[in-house]
Every structure is written in C-alpha cells, then in structure tokens.
Amino acid sequence: MKDIKTALPTHQEAKSALDSLLDSFSDSAPLDEALIQTATLGIAKGVQIRDYALGGIGLALSDPNDSVRFLDSIQVLGTNSPALEALKSAYAYEAEDKALALSCLDKALALDPAHSLSALLKRVYEAGWQPTSFVSMRNELHAKVEAGLAPLEAVIVGQE
C-alpha cells in the first residue's frame, strides 16, 4: 500500500488529484490510493473543491451513471462525508435514479443536517426540477467555480 496523505491538501493538490482520477477512470486504469485520499479530503473539507467536483465530474464523464460509479470507487478508500454523499445524490438524480438520489441525500443530511449542498439538493428535488435543468445550471456555474479556485491554489483546503 502506498503512503497515504493524511494532512489536508492545498486546493491545487485536491483539484489535480481529482482531475487525475477522472482521467484514470475514463481510461479504465487503476485509481491511485494517494490521489483518492487527496481528492476526497479536498471534497470533504473544502466547499470550493466540492463545487469543482460537482461540475468537473459531470463534464469529464458525460454519463451520470458513470459519475455515480466514479464516486463509489473513490468513496471506497476515501472519507465518508456529507459532501461525497451529496455529490453522489446529485449524479443519481441526473441519472433519474431517484431512490438512490434520496438515499444518498438522507445519508448526507444524517452526517450533517446543515450541509449546504445537501440543503440545496433537497430544495431542487422537492421543487421537481428536471434533471436536465440541474445539469444545465451545474455546467454554467462550473467556469465561475474554476475562476474562484485560481486565487486559492496554494491555500490549504478548509482554511480559505
């Protein structure tokens, strides 16, 4: 087993780890454990990385079922967090698997009843948004999220 990173990463380290994992997943290559740890710590502890993951995963993997499988694969070795559950919920919703979306949302809210993305997703689901509308909004916001990450590249996740 490789040396696993336990200290919080910088935003750039977490973003790069997530991007590398997405490339490996797309190529059906093995996923590096150290990268999983870095990416999942970033997602779990940093709102900017979580939001980057929300857009970046969907843009890298056009099938929302693949996005759910990707999140399952990094969650195996990663941190159990409301952020990871919320991301999986969002992609399950896009895949029109409402049972899984609601189950993941329930897990996220059980872990943190005040989790902001989970609260947003709950409102989206209750309002009956079409998955395609959510995808469009997510994709439009991704460029803004990326721009917001630029000044944080050297900042430790969770310390912004």
Average pLDDT over residues 119-124: 96
Give 84-119 pLDDT, tens digit per residue.
999 999 999 999 999 999 999 999 999 999 999 999
Confidence bin at 159 (pLDDT 50/70/90): confident
Give 130-151 pLDDT, tens digit per residue.
999 989 988 999 999 999 998 8
* Euclidean distance between CA atoms 99 and 37, whole angstroms: 28
pLDDT at 3: 47
Among 2-6, 47-51, 62-66, 79-83, name the one with the lowest average pLDDT: 2-6
Domains of the chain, residue spans = 11-152
pLDDT of 78 strictly over 90: no
Cα-based distances in Å from 92 to 64, 66, 99, 134, 135: 7, 10, 8, 12, 12
User: How crowded is residue 29: how many other Cβ atoms within 10 Å of its Cβ?
Assistant: 11
Cβ atoms of 40 and 73 within 8 Å: the answer is no
**C-alpha dihedral sign at 54, 41, 92, 100:** negative
CATH number among 1.10.3470, 1.25.40, 1.10.1220, 1.10.357, domain 11-152: 1.25.40
* Euclidean distance between CA atoms 59 and 61, whole angstroms: 6
